[in-house]
Amino acid sequence: MDDLMRCAEGMEQCRSQQSTYMGCLDTDNDRVGDASAGEVTPNVCTVRSKNYTISIQGPPTADTYVVRGVPMPGTPVAGTGTIEVDSAGNRRWDRNDDGTFDDTSKERWGR
């Protein structure tokens, strides 16, 4: 959850510099954003967790984004469900990992 929040802050910083969330990811490490979606890059945030893959779902728009954390297979959190936070601050947990966040049994984390 800390990584998701840190990456959301990185997306906000990118938007404050570029006036858009699009093109924030620097996939070739040249200090220029060149991708809008995919695994986060160090210019957006440094992922500390060794248990989740953190990515920007996409494509984002000029005004919206979704940061998602997917548990890695073989880690202690495998099978615990996907978590995400979006540009509006909504935090979702796909607890049963069925690919949807709107089931009535779903929970919000951190609120």
The mean pLDDT value for 61-82 works out to 94
Q: What is the pLDDT of residue 73?
A: 95
Cβ neighbours of residue 4 closer than 8 Å, sequence gap 6 or more: 54, 67, 68, 69, 83, 84, 85, 91
Type and span of the H or E element at 54: strand 52-57
Quickly count: other Cβ atoms within 10 Å of residue 25's Cβ: 25
Tens of pLDDT, residues 50-65: 999 999 998 889 999 9
Q: What is the pLDDT of residue 108?
A: 60
Residue 98 has pLDDT above 90, yes or no: no
Q: What is the pLDDT of residue 106?
A: 52
Domain boundaries of the chain, sorted by first residue: 2-94
Q: Which of 94, 84, 106 is nearest to 11 (CA)?
A: 84
Cis amide leading into 76 (omega within 30): no
